[in-house]
């Protein structure tokens, strides 16, 4: 079991944290890899078609 804990940095300040066991599933392992990569988090509408493989160009999502 590997428990990982991450904190969100918002405008230079520590915000909420996220803690999970990355050995429990492939999804948690993928989440650990993503969280360790200095991610940018952007809220999108629930009905958005954006998914894995799309890119963020700094202002909008583009499908390549």
Please write the tens of the pLDDT for every residue from 16-64: 999 999 888 999 999 999 999 988 889 999 999 999 889 999 999 999 8
- pLDDT at residue 6 in the model: 93
- pLDDT at residue 46 in the model: 95
- pLDDT at residue 47 in the model: 96
| Number of domains observed in the structure of the chain | 1
- pLDDT at residue 61 in the model: 94
Look up the domain containing 10 and give its range. Answer: 3-63
- Main-chain phi, psi angles of 34, to 5 degrees: -65, -45
Which residue(s) pair with 4 in the sheet? 20
| pTM of the complete model | 0.65
- pLDDT at residue 11 in the model: 85
């Amino acid at each position: 079991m590997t428990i990982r804990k991450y904190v969100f940095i918002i405008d230079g300040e520590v915000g909420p944290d996220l803690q999970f066991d990355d050995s429990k599933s492939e999804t948690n392992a993928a989440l650990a890899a993503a969280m360790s990569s200095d991610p940018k988090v952007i809220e999108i509408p629930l009905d958005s078609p954006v998914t894995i493989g799309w890119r963020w160009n700094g202002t909008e999502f583009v499908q390549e």
